[in-house]
A = this chain, B = another copy of it.
Amino acid sequence: MKENMQVQLASTPESQPQPEHFALVKGVMPQAGDQQVLCETLYLSLDPYMRSQIAGRHMSGSVNPGDVMRGETVSKVIESNHADFNVGDVVRCFAGWQNYSVHDGDSIFKVKKEIDNPSYALSALGMPGLTAYAGMIWQAQPKAGDVVVIPAAIGGVGSVAGQLAKIHGCTVIGIAGTDEKCDYAVKNLGYDACINRKKGDLGEQLDALCPNGIDIFFDLVGGEMLNTVSERLAVGARVILCGLMADYNKTTRSMGPPPAMWIKARAIVYGLVVYDFEPRRAEFVDACVNYINEGKLIVREDVAQGLAAAPEAFCRLMRGENMGKAVVKV
């Protein structure tokens, strides 16, 4: 008989999560009821926001010790009691960190046929891509010549945001945590430059690269970096507030930049929550499928093999050691 292996939260980490904060357990095999479908997980997305869920601070709810870790997946329908879904359909759903899950028809979504590689529905053509598209295209509205700064330059959101800005004729400066990532950003993703934030003074390097100030900052980090960048905004700048990586492993929240910086720049600052843009997902997928097919949008995934590898892969993500969007092939 099939087994439903699960990864549960074992204990709440106080700072950097370690594999021992998670436990691989044999869960109950779920049964599809009336109007429900049973799904087998193909790919699991690992995302920084999960650190907030573990800490009990995320708007989508908390994950407590003993709970199965939550997360978006690409899954295959293996049993269907719902007229809209057939066995074999590939769907997006929030199955969590486990092999099998049951869903109502309104909480699963067929992966578009145009998406050849199903894991892409979790990366560049999924939630991270939609986040990048919403913030960069719908909110920041890049113009040719804008100077754009992208932290986590090659991560799931950042890599798409940066490439979208390049497609729109911007000068794009990345920030990443290793020379290897910086090289990849410039050589493969087309960034004009990429700063290793662990080498030298970030402010001085930004001053040198952006002598006329920064027009768009897609913030995925918060903390001191948001401050450093906000001091260097050009008049008319747009700042997308989207992630708080700098705070995820802390118990306190960093304050934001002094408002004077944003007044001086006449900045428009947008709080971005990707769920709000779900109604416009098709528009984004259509655009980005084309960019991928045209070779304008390079997708890189950091794929861990097997559910048992998920905890370590998540810890690597939280240490910034992933190269590309973190995904688990379950």
Binding site for B on A (CB under 8 A): 59, 219, 222, 226, 241-242, 244, 247, 253-260, 262-273, 276
Contact = CB atoms under 8 A, between A and B. Distances in A.
B263 A267 contact: no
A253 B263 contact: no
Contacts of A264: 59, 271, 273
Instruction: Report the copy number of this chain in the oligomer.
Output: 2
Contacts of A263: 241-242, 244, 271-273
A273 B236 CA distance: 11
Contact of A255 (B255, B267, B270, B271): B255
Contacts of A266: 270-273, 276
A51 to B, nearest CB: 13
Nearest to A264: B59
Contacts of A265: 271
A255 B260 CA distance: 9
Contact of A258 (B59, B255, B267, B268): B255
A130 to B, nearest CB: 15
A306 B79 CA distance: 87
A106 to B, nearest CB: 22
A241 B259 contact: yes
A219 B263 CA distance: 11
Given A262-B269, A264-B271, A266-B271, 18 more contacts: A241-B259, A241-B262, A241-B263, A247-B258, A247-B260, A253-B258, A255-B255, A255-B256, A255-B257, A255-B258, A265-B271, A266-B270, A266-B276, A267-B271, A268-B269, A268-B270, A268-B271, A269-B270
A269 B261 CA distance: 12
A262 B259 CA distance: 13
Nearest to A237: B271
A267 B270 CA distance: 6
Contact of A254 (B253, B254, B258): B258
